[in-house]
Amino acid sequence: MKLILTINPGSTTTKMGVFTQKEKIHEFNVVMPVSKISKKNVTNEFPYRKDSIERSLKYVDLKDLVAVVGRGGLLKPLKGGVYKINDKLVNDLKEAKNGNHASNLGAMLADYFGNKFKVPAYIIDPVTIDELEDVARISGVPGIERVSRSHALNIKATTRKICERNRWDIEKNNFVVAHLGGGISVCAIKKSKMVDVNDALLGMGPFSPERAGALPIRRVMELSYSGKYTQKELELLFVKNCGLKGYLGTNDGREVEKRIKNGDKKAKLIFDAMIYQIQKEIGAMLSVCDYDVKAVVVTGGLAFNKNIQKQLLDNLKNYNVIFFPGENELEAMADGGFRAINGKIEVNDYK
C-alpha cells in the first residue's frame, strides 16, 4: 500500500496528511505559538515546524512511503504542474527572493522528510503558477506588469476533480473558479490554463477576510506619503489587516455571520460588499472566457457560507454554479504526488 505524506504550512498552523491512493488515513494540525512566528523570514520557523511534524508522525507507520509533497511557495513564475524539489528551489525560498510567506516552508520541510525517508520530494502548482495570456499582463503603467499569484493548487485540483466527476474534458472547456479563503483568487481557466487571475496576495480583485484587494490609487498614494507607515508596515496592513478584519475586527466569516443574525447592520453591509466584489470579479473573468463556460466553480473555506451561496446563485442564474467548499490542499498535493509517482504527469525540473 503506497503512502504519500503532504505538508501544508500556513501562517499560524502546520497541516499534514498521510494518504493512500484511495483515501486520507491520517491528518494532523499543529498550531504555531505566537512566540515561534517570525516577522522577518519564515525560514526561522523551520526547526520548530520540523520538530512538530516529527512528533506528530512518531507513531505513524511510514514504511510504505513513496513520496513527500510540500505546499509550493513564492517562487519565480512557473508553468503549472509537478516540480521535483532541488537545491536551487529550496535556496530561492530560503532567501525569499520572490516574497516571504509561510508556504515557502512547504518545499523545505518536504525536502527534509524526503531525504529522511529516502523518497522523492515534490511541490505541485505553487502560488506563482503563471499561465497568463500576454494581454492580461498589461497594467496601464509602463514598467508595472500584472503578476499571477493565486490559490493555484486548490483551483487546479478542484477543476480536475469536477471534470472527472462529470466526465468533462478539461482540455476542451472553460471555467471560472473562485477560491474564497483568507485571500481570494478568481480565475479564468481556458482549456486547463489559468489565463487570467487577480493577484490574490497584494494587488487586485475583491477584498477578503484579511486582504485589501483593488484600491483607489489616489488614496493609496496619500497613505503611502502620510508618514504613518513604512513600506513593510503598509504591505502588512494590506495583506493581513484589511478586509473583514479591518472593518469588523475579525477575519472569521462565521463570526461575521453571527453578528449579521443578531442584527449588526455594519457587519451585513461589509459582508455584502465583499460578496458584491466577488461577483464583479467573476463577471470580469466570465468576459475573459467570452461568457462561454462549462461552470462557475466556488471553492475555499468561505464557500461553506450559506449567504454567499445564495447571493451567487441568485446573481449567476444563467450559469452552472458548482460549490466545492474547503481548502482541499492536502488532498490536492496527494493527488498530484500519486500522478507523478504513477507516471501520469510529467515531473518538471526547477532551473
CATH topology of domain 3-128+330-349: Nucleotidyltransferase; domain 5 (3.30.420)
pLDDT (tens, 9 = 90+) of the chain, 351 residues, equals: 899 999 999 878 899 999 999 999 999 999 888 888 887 899 999 999 999 999 999 999 999 999 999 999 999 999 999 999 999 999 999 999 888 889 999 999 999 999 999 999 999 999 999 999 999 999 999 999 999 999 999 999 999 999 999 999 999 999 999 999 989 999 999 999 999 999 998 878 999 999 999 999 999 999 999 999 999 899 999 998 999 999 999 999 999 999 999 999 999 999 999 999 999 999 999 999 999 999 999 999 999 999 999 999 999 999 999 999 998 899 999 999 999 999 999 999 999
User: What's the pLDDT score for residue 190?
Assistant: 98
Q: How far is CA 40 from the centre of its chain?
A: 21
Surface-to-core class of residue 62, CB atoms within 10 Å of its CB (0-12 exposed, 13-18 middle, 19+ buried): middle
User: What's the pLDDT score for residue 291?
Assistant: 98
Q: What is the DSSP string of 241-291?
A: SSHHHHHHS---HHHHHHHHHTT-HHHHHHHHHHHHHHHHHHHHHHHHTTT
User: What's the pLDDT score for residue 40?
Assistant: 83
| Amino acid identity at 297 | V
**Integer Cα distance of 250 and 258 in angstroms:** 12
Q: How far is CA 316 from the centre of its chain?
A: 24
The contacts of residue 296 (CB under 8 Å, 6+ apart) are 175, 176, 177, 178, 282, 286, 312, 316, 319, 320, 321, 322
Domain ranges of the chain: 3-128+330-349, 134-319
The dihedral of CA 239, 17, 186, 307: what is its sign? negative
- Can you tell me which residue has the cell 490554463? 193
pTM value is: 0.91
How many CB atoms lie under 10 A from the CB of residue 158? Answer: 25
- Can you tell me which residue has the cell 498589461? 138
Domains 3-128+330-349 and 134-319 agree in fold: yes
User: What's the pLDDT score for residue 37?
Assistant: 86
User: What's the pLDDT score for residue 173?
Assistant: 98
**Integer Cα distance of 58 and 105 in angstroms:** 21
The contacts of residue 164 (CB under 8 Å, 6+ apart) are none
| Amino acid identity at 147 | V
**Integer Cα distance of 313 and 300 in angstroms:** 17
User: What's the pLDDT score for residue 211?
Assistant: 95
Surface-to-core class of residue 284, CB atoms within 10 Å of its CB (0-12 exposed, 13-18 middle, 19+ buried): middle
Q: Please answer whether residues 76 and 92 qualify as being in contact, where contact means their C-beta atoms are separated by less than 8 angstroms.
A: yes
- The CATH class, in words, for 134-319 is alpha beta
